[in-house]
Structure 1
């Protein structure tokens, strides 16, 4: 498998097994967002609030999420966002997942145009025996 950090971010990609170790070697910040308990837009926004270590001032809407992902003061120039248990969430919440992906991909394109990088990495814990 090609090393994911050896190329510019390209949409949603599968996370490599040692994502944190690989990211550290490439001087890429890592943040993890867990989707296990996400039931609706509010719990989705809470998952990002927690995963990105945002303050309670976070607006909890799509525009606010885009803004925090693209804020040069708040994020490193190279960031990997690890989306944990994302495929299961996406299967349960098709419309919410599509809205989220539109925002994430828009942020990824905006950052690329600024010479920055946002990897969107899907990590499935169920398929990884280390997490059972």
Structure 2
């Protein structure tokens, strides 16, 4: 008798609060993750960092993708505050797809590590509220397939 297990559907994975957090974005999975998020009532923001020049551009792209309020201060503390609130963006859970982040990571290592720390803190905060918060990070560059 075979004991192989079928892969879990993406909707089940995303709904699993115990697994939510910051994870690598598997190649070619952004579309499927976005569709799965939509299917279960999660918000999904796709943020292309392929040609992102600096911290200011990074914060602006995240703010635009998540429709941050005008009071967003364009600094790390404000990012943490907004990601920890998202009251203007009600959903059953949240998924961020940070695409083509490899070049930004190489050029701005400290800022990239700060971003990951804020994303991890946000996921932990939302888990305490029984809401899944995912950040999938694609470490490829802008020309990757």
Give the alignment's TM-score, normalised by structure 1.
Answer: 0.82
**Match status 1:10 vs 2:24:** no
Structure 2, unmatched stretches of 5+, are 1-6
Matched residue of 1:36: which SS? coil
Q: How does 1:32-111 map to 2 (within 5 A)?
A: 32-75=46-89, 76-111=91-126
The offset of 1:28, in angstroms, is 1.2
1:118 correspondence with 2:118: no
CA distance in 2, matches of 1:36, 1:10: 22
Of 103-112 and 69-78, the range deviating more from structure 2: 69-78
Q: Aligned equivalents of 2:92 and 2:80: distance in 1?
A: 15
Does structure 2 conserve the Cα–Cα contact (< 8 Å) formed by 1:68 and 1:74?
Answer: no
Task: Give the Cα separation in 2 of the matches to 1:54 and 1:92.
Answer: 26
Which TM-score applies when normalising by structure 2?
Answer: 0.75
Q: CA deviation at 1:54?
A: 2.3
In the alignment, is the contact (CA less than 8 A) between 2:45 and 2:97 conserved in 1? yes
Aligned-pair distance for 1:12? Answer: 2.3
Larger mean CA deviation between 95-104 and 27-36 belongs to 27-36
CA contact 1:108–1:117 (8 Å) conserved in 2: yes
RMSD: 2.1
Contact 1:87 / 1:122 at 8 angstroms: preserved in 2? Answer: no
Q: What is the number of residues matched between the two proteins?
A: 128
2:96 touches 2:135 (CA, 8 Å); kept in 1? yes
**Do the aligned partners of residues 10 and 72 (structure 1) sit closer, same or farther apart at CA in structure 2, a change above 3 Å counting?**
closer
- Bigger relative CO (Cα 8 Å, ≥ 6 apart): 2
Q: After TM superposition, what 4+ stretches of structure 1 lie above 6 angstroms from structure 2? A: none
Which is greater in Rg? 2
Superposed displacement of residue 108, structure 1: 0.8
